[in-house]
Structure 1
Amino acid sequence: MNKQTHYFFAIKIPQETKLIMKKHRDRFKEILPFSTWVHHEDLHITLAFLGNAPAEKLSIAIENVREALRECKGFPLEINNLGTFGKVDSPRIFWADTRESNELREVREKVFKSCLEAGFQLETRPFKPHITLARKWTGDQHFHKRLLDELQPNPLLFQANEVVLYQTHLDQTPKYEVKEKYLLE
């Protein structure tokens, strides 16, 4: 059977940060009824979603990104807020975001441009860096933003030292496999 897969470039979250986020996620799961919770190994910040990528285009994007990031250095990021996407009373996505970072925006622009130059058609909405924690509200009651205010953890600082190309395996958990790594030194 030919399984559909897709690819995306992302900031890889360091392992120790993923484990701290897992503890928060486990606490959130007890309170917030979302249908799907992201496995802690799959936590990341998407930079460019490629979708089902033809091998030739993917190869060009891999090399373009490698060249674009050659001079980029690692930088600190702070996870600082919880939020949602979708309907106010029945959100589609529950996420944690990062404090504004010029370095993150610069890396995202380089990756995004590299993928466009490889021939990919990418998302045109403004970049909203976030880490997806859960999907699809299933609560009997309407979701209220005050829940997020009550759950708000302390800010979490980490060093963003790696951009990766992930391949998605929908039939596995965790479902994202690292295909390429770009160290930001």
Structure 2
Amino acid sequence: MNTHYFLGIKIPNNLAASIIEARKGTNLHETHKTLPVLEDLHITLFYLGWIEQNTLDQIIQSCQNIDWKSFDLTTNGLSHFGSNHTPRVVYTALKESESLTSLQEEVTDIISNFIEVDNPKEFNAHITIAKKWASNGFISIEGFQLENTTFKVTNFSLFRVNPTNTPRYEEVCIMQSGGG
């Protein structure tokens, strides 16, 4: 099986711990197959999938040359992809951020220089807390209690996906902001 990669922003441990604690107030452990562990919580900027090492090295080098300033992000409750009753993905939402959108667009532009980027989807920044619906019941998320929390983004990373490990996502390379 080929190794897959993605570029993303790791969630600070203190916030990740709060999200995991808030998730305990739901029944997501009963309704979904996959509940990411604290160390795996992230915001995906671009999912690369399998990619040749030479191309990966070029993408890393180009991403390290992005000139961007650190910025703040703020959580914004819970949301989901899919049906209200049987959502595929449940996530901690984020307030809109021009800085985040700009960084994600720049990353996508760089990647498009090396691989074909088919119909880039509209970027919906989120922190997945449960995925892969696996129940006959209904979701109960009323107990999810997480105050909107602001955190600083000073870097993003290239992650290797290790599907049989816990945590699943391994930071391979970190791209620092130019300040801010």
**TM-score of the superposition, structure 2-length normalised?**
0.89
Secondary structure in 2 matching 1:17: helix
Choose which of 20, 23, 26 in structure 2 pairs with 1:22: 20
| 1:162-173 equivalence runs, <5 A | 162-173=155-166
Per-residue displacement from partner, 1:148-179 (whole Å, max 9, x unpaired)? Answer: 45535211111111100000001100010111
**Number of aligned pairs?**
178
Q: Determine what percentage of the aligned residue pairs are the same residue.
A: 28
Higher deviation after alignment, 21-30 or 86-95: 21-30
1:33 match: 31
Answering whether residue 152 of structure 2 is matched by residue 159 of structure 1, we say yes
Secondary structure in 2 matching 1:115: helix
2:114 match: 118
Unaligned runs of 5+ in 1: none
What amino acid sits opposite 2:85 in the alignment?
Answer: D
**TM-score of the superposition, structure 1-length normalised?**
0.87
Unaligned runs of 5+ in 2: none
| 1:68-107 equivalence runs, <5 A | 68=66, 71-107=67-103
Choose which of 107, 126, 130 in structure 2 pairs with 1:130: 126
Please state which structure has a larger fraction of its residues in helix. Answer: 1
What amino acid sits opposite 2:114 in the alignment?
Answer: A
1:45 match: 43
Following superposition, the deviation at residue 30 of structure 1 comes to 6.8
Q: Distance in 2 between matches of 1:96 and 1:18?
A: 10
Following superposition, the deviation at residue 121 of structure 1 comes to 2.7
Higher deviation after alignment, 107-116 or 150-159: 150-159
Answering whether residue 3 of structure 2 is matched by residue 5 of structure 1, we say yes
